[in-house]
Chains A and B, each alone.
Chain A
């Protein structure tokens, strides 16, 4: 029905050539066209942040961007945050600190948190809280999310102090 346009999406280091409707939201291009379903949709008013990705290294809500606007711009999604099989320190800290329950907000939270730490590697608790203001979580009360972000900032790339766990 509608006309389509060509767009080149550079996602997690791979380039995809797509023909899309001009109105297609980036989040739907990622999810429905590229099968990258880790980026979630939780609202229709840009409030929840579940769709947060990195666009040229900056945290962006991918429901507020058209796929065509992202043409050629480097995109990172939760799937590409760490090399396959590995975890980014923020992911590791989310796991250690029980910073997720249902996990639906989690990819967006982690993408927002990693961008926050890039800009401000040693944030205070209040800076973390304000930095994550655009991301809603209904499960955790944010307590452990904030803790995880602070912990990730402290350990940086150094090896994390392991949470007590049953097997190594």
Chain B
């Protein structure tokens, strides 16, 4: 018998439980929390990209009204027990990791580096005072281009290493040399996957509140438990004396999967001053001091036989890591490696990753983190190969797809893809997009000078981090684990609370976790509250990122709820004088199989669990709650097929997305409405990268895109409505069959958009343009192609 109720809540479109607060302005985000007596923090940040600090004159700031303290890196030296943390230590590879203190000591390495901290009584006055801290710098040579940084004689970000190369990490499978030597066709391409920002509309912020020996840090974070763990090491405070609370978090996208200097500073100051302290990042600060993403140059080689059968692929990735190593900085480019090669059978894969220091802020995880880059290159290389072979790009894909019946499929790299039906999603996509009709329309439009193009992406991604042994110390080498936890507690009157170690920030798990628990408990989801983001409530957990929360955290909820169900059946059986195995949960009733009139409700059972009646055997423990820690045996591999249609104005270079169709497969949906929402947002994030967004530093290391004026995120006016559809291929990895979907759209969409632009411009002879495909870049590519590739 299934352990799940007959008419499950899982699978239903259900309005979100979190929304009534948020649509009425009653959400509680970090800056909405006020504690009496709070002091404000402002950070004095470096205006130089690389310099020695000659002097810091605090006097004009210290003397101002409302200022309580002005502290430099030297002043705070005794407040920090250890430098900022980076947690990747791959076996056999040394990663150069400089000491990174929350406030600079002696030198600054990028624009925005904290050089002093001002504490005062008012939001505005600390910013005034910060402007009166006078810092004298001796500028040092700056390097911003990662390939120049690798050249001999380049300025060094860290002289002690004698090089800007942080590390090299390799992984391969199959005989790549033979594959390249024997192939009929070998194509190569250099691709730039440029630096982007997370762009959460809520910036970061912290409020550290001391009470006796205990300090509570409220932080806009995706990882409260990890944050507490790392803070305890960096500050020398035991975890029992630290509480981290993530309130409502206004978007993360990986940018809040971090332990930041300001979080360390706030707790240190709360401890030092014994006062609550608050810091709310301005958007200008966010652009320079919240980690960036992507920023890699990829040299790709793809080899095939003349019939289109892929024989090998090689990638050399040069990743610009910025000036320091933060939590996962050097690992993010590599994070895509399990799906390098995409959804294709490739017998030989050879990957090399090089990290590079530059005088910019750190890169780290931003939505997709390594997999958008991996998907970008394999999908665009498939198009190029098709072009070279004179094959249809979709036929080339079909020819090389891992077939449905071949799962679980182990790739050349030894990664086992759990399940898939790549033809199925592509077929579904083509039901929605009549390609022949499109090609006819495209011809007609071209005749009228309108350049329309279509681009495809048949992606597979890897998510659901976990499994701890694969990514942990003896696996890939992260000094961490990635299981997830849930505690399910049924209250005496029959409602329930689910505590999760995950830390959602927009994904809607208050609702979807309630749906999962509801089916297994026999309780209406409206009577199940989900609690997350507080290290003092519920079990330890690893947070929300990497599209892991449903497939790891959701499975933990399912398991904990089943444990509660088992105990409820045991109690029910005792009350009804039946055998526990004869109790079934149907329509919210625990009833005796074959005697539907003999039943107990969860309220009756939970009442008996909490206030045991005489007939309940004394060997049944009181209470009705259970905890599950779940560490999966494998990743999950969502996949799909996307198509993007664009119009390009050849006169101006402006690209307009006119249609976007996404068919995704993330297993059985928990709440389909939430999946569509994730896909919409994910696609938009990628369209932003493909067409508009770029973090730009000039040659002196000054940040050119310092605000939302210069960092152009897409608005509603630039986008069409999206067409979404699904196929359902369950994962064998977890009992729900689910795979994550938070990043899928972002992973899938950049190649689809780029391919669409290249398709549109094919008649003009444009073969390649690096993102972002801004009007200027597109226009330049067109004119260059029209002038026979002549140098501008």
Interface residues of A (CB under 8 A from B): 1, 21, 23-24, 28, 31-32, 35-45, 47-48, 50, 77-79, 81-82, 87, 91, 94-96, 98, 100-107, 110, 125, 128-130, 132-147, 163-167
Interface residues of B (CB under 8 A from A): 9, 12-16, 18-29, 31-32, 34, 64-66, 123-125, 198-203, 248-253, 282-284, 505-508, 524-526, 673-674, 676-678, 680-685, 707-709, 713, 715-717, 719, 721-722, 745
Which residue of the partner chain A has the closest CB to B29?
A: A104
User: Can you give 18 contacting A-B residue pairs, CB < 8 Å?
Assistant: A1-B125, A24-B124, A38-B25, A40-B31, A42-B250, A43-B708, A44-B282, A44-B707, A78-B23, A78-B24, A78-B25, A98-B674, A100-B23, A138-B251, A142-B715, A144-B676, A146-B716, A166-B14
In the complex the two chains form, what is the Cα distance from A137 to B29 in whole Å?
Answer: 16
Question: Do B12 and A103 have beta carbons less than 8 Å apart?
Answer: no
Question: Do B707 and A45 have beta carbons less than 8 Å apart?
Answer: yes
Question: Do B31 and A41 have beta carbons less than 8 Å apart?
Answer: yes
In the complex the two chains form, what is the Cα distance from A145 to B708 in whole Å?
Answer: 21
Q: How far is the CB of B262 from chain A (nearest CB, A)?
A: 17
In the complex the two chains form, what is the Cα distance from A39 to B284 in whole Å?
Answer: 20
Q: How far is the CB of B19 from chain A (nearest CB, A)?
A: 5
**A87 with B23: in contact, given A128-B716, A141-B681 (CB under 8 Å)?**
yes
List the 7 closest pairs (A to B, CB-CB), nearest first: A38-B25, A104-B250, A102-B506, A103-B22, A141-B684, A78-B25, A141-B680
Question: Do B123 and A28 have beta carbons less than 8 Å apart?
Answer: yes
**A21 with B681: in contact, given A87-B24, A101-B507, A145-B716 (CB under 8 Å)?**
no
* Residues from chain B with Cβ under 8 Å of A79 in the complex: 24-26
**A163 with B15: in contact, given A79-B24, A101-B506, A102-B251 (CB under 8 Å)?**
yes
Question: Do B15 and A139 have beta carbons less than 8 Å apart?
Answer: no
Question: Do B27 and A38 have beta carbons less than 8 Å apart?
Answer: yes
Question: Do B23 and A37 have beta carbons less than 8 Å apart?
Answer: no
Q: Is the interface of A mostly helix, strand, loop or mixed?
A: loop
In the complex the two chains form, what is the Cα distance from A129 to B203 in whole Å?
Answer: 25
Q: Is the interface of B mostly helix, strand, loop or mixed?
A: loop
In the complex the two chains form, what is the Cα distance from A143 to B681 in whole Å?
Answer: 8
In the complex the two chains form, what is the Cα distance from A143 to B253 in whole Å?
Answer: 18
Q: How far is the CB of B601 from chain A (nearest CB, A)?
A: 16
In the complex the two chains form, what is the Cα distance from A69 to B505 in whole Å?
Answer: 35
Q: How far is the CB of A67 from chain B (nearest CB, A)?
A: 12
Question: Do A166 and B722 have beta carbons less than 8 Å apart?
Answer: no
**A95 with B124: in contact, given A41-B31, A48-B201, A102-B505 (CB under 8 Å)?**
no
In the complex the two chains form, what is the Cα distance from A44 to B707 in whole Å?
Answer: 8
* Residues from chain B with Cβ under 8 Å of A32 in the complex: 123
Q: How far is the CB of A36 from chain B (nearest CB, A)?
A: 7
* Residues from chain B with Cβ under 8 Å of A104 in the complex: 27, 29, 200-202, 248, 250-251
* Residues from chain A with Cβ under 8 Å of B684 in the complex: 140-142
* Residues from chain A with Cβ under 8 Å of B707 in the complex: 43-45, 47
8 Å CB contact of A141 from B34, B674, B719 = B719
Which residue of the partner chain A has the closest CB to B28?
A: A37
Question: Do B32 and A37 have beta carbons less than 8 Å apart?
Answer: yes
In the complex the two chains form, what is the Cα distance from A43 to B201 in whole Å?
Answer: 8
In the complex the two chains form, what is the Cα distance from A87 to B506 in whole Å?
Answer: 21
In the complex the two chains form, what is the Cα distance from A54 to B31 in whole Å?
Answer: 22
* Residues from chain A with Cβ under 8 Å of B673 in the complex: 98
In the complex the two chains form, what is the Cα distance from A130 to B202 in whole Å?
Answer: 23
Q: How far is the CB of A141 from chain B (nearest CB, A)?
A: 3
Instruction: Count chain A CB atoms within 10 A of each CB in B524, B684, B685, B722 and give the residue with the most.
Output: B684
* Residues from chain B with Cβ under 8 Å of A165 in the complex: 14-15
Question: Do B721 and A95 have beta carbons less than 8 Å apart?
Answer: no
* Residues from chain B with Cβ under 8 Å of A166 in the complex: 9, 12, 14, 524-526
Contacts A48-B201, A132-B717, A146-B716 known; 18 new A-B pairs at CB < 8 A: A23-B124, A37-B25, A40-B250, A43-B708, A48-B283, A50-B201, A78-B24, A91-B23, A95-B15, A101-B507, A101-B508, A104-B250, A132-B715, A138-B251, A138-B685, A142-B716, A166-B14, A166-B525
**A167 with B526: in contact, given A43-B707, A103-B248 (CB under 8 Å)?**
yes
Question: Do B66 and A1 have beta carbons less than 8 Å apart?
Answer: yes
**A138 with B713: in contact, given A45-B708, A102-B201 (CB under 8 Å)?**
yes
